Structures are given as C-alpha cells and as structure tokens.
Amino acid sequence: MYTAVMETTPDRLIESTRELLWERGYVGTSPKAIQQRSGVGQGSMYHHFSGKPELALAAVRRTAEQMRETAERELALPGTAVERVSRYLRRERDVLRGCPIGRLTQDPEVVTSPQLRAPLDETFEWLRGRLADVLAEGQARDEIAPGLDTGDIAAALVAVLQGGYVLARAAGSAAPFDHAVSGALALLTQRA
C-alpha cells in the first residue's frame, strides 16, 4: 500500500503508478495493483483517470519532471563545469533499481506508444542539452579542452549513466556504475 502522505487522490494514484512502472513495467502495472498500492477504490480511480493509459502517461510525465528538476538542482549550483557535471553524475541514487526513465525505455509497451515515449525522449533531449550548455560554459572559461564538441560529450555522458545502470544491475553491484562515471570524468578533464 502507498505509504507517502499525498494531498489528493490523483496524486496518490500517480505516485503509486510511478512506483509500479519502475518496479514492474507497464504490463505488470495493473489497475488493481495501482488501486491496492494507492488505497484508492476503482470508482475513484476511474473518476480521475479514464484508464491505465492516461494514468500511466501522468506517471511518466511526473517521473520525467522530477528527473529534470533533480538534474537542474545539481547542474545549477556554483562551481566549474566539471564540478557541476561531477556533482550530477555522482549524486546519490539507487543505482541497482536503475533509472526510472531509462528503465521505461526498455519496456516494449512504453516505446511502442508515441504518447508514453514522448516524455522519455523529451527528458533525454533536455538532459543532453543542459549538459552541453554546462560544458560549453566550461569550455568558454578554459576548463575543458577547446575544440571538443560539447553536444557529443553530453550525449556520451548520458550514455555512460544509462549504461552504468545496466551494468550495475547485471552485476548486482554499484561498482560498474561508479567505474563508468569515474572513467567519464577522467576523460572529461584530459587535455590534448
């Protein structure tokens, strides 16, 4: 049963759906499981949402918003570009659970739905752009080697994060994630 204190029935439904999508994927997230986790009855659920697809979309959108907010908090803090990127990459996270957005990209029901996939695409595009902006600021301040394509570096950093999650889950240990992040940061600080 959903344990966090939420103010509204729709919030409880969305939060429960978010958790279930992360744990079980789209197919494994049944309306009954959502109702049980949220403590909301069937009538209330269908009063607020037309069905599982609409509720799943609200949950995916909220997950994407929270991921962007978390990243922005780390990337907007003062410091050099490398310090800011490092703070974001090394922030506390539940590595073995995987990225809630990245895990959804592996769900066939999600990626074949343009509506459910859109918030994922938008979030990864935003993250690549935001990292590229931070890296470009660092390049302008001579913190990062000139001539490097900051968009390509940002894309590589996102790939390192997502790949690090996959390797960590496969190993049952956060060590592969930590090594991937350390390696990416080491490359980022190299001078030609």
At a CB cut-off of 8 Å and minimum separation 6, what does 32 contact?
none
Query: What percentage of the chain has pLDDT greater than the value 90?
Result: 88
At a CB cut-off of 8 Å and minimum separation 6, what does 78 contact?
none
The predicted pLDDT at position 6 comes to 46
| Structure-block tokens of residue 22 | 């992360």
pTM: 0.89
pLDDT digits (tens, 9 = 90+) for 114-155: 999 999 999 999 999 999 999 999 999 999 988 899 999 999
Low-confidence ranges of the chain (pLDDT < 70): 1-6, 191-192
The predicted pLDDT at position 7 comes to 75
| Structure-block tokens of residue 36 | 């049980």
User: CB neighbours (10 Å) of residue 100?
Assistant: 19
- Which three-class secondary structure state does DSSP give residue 32? helix
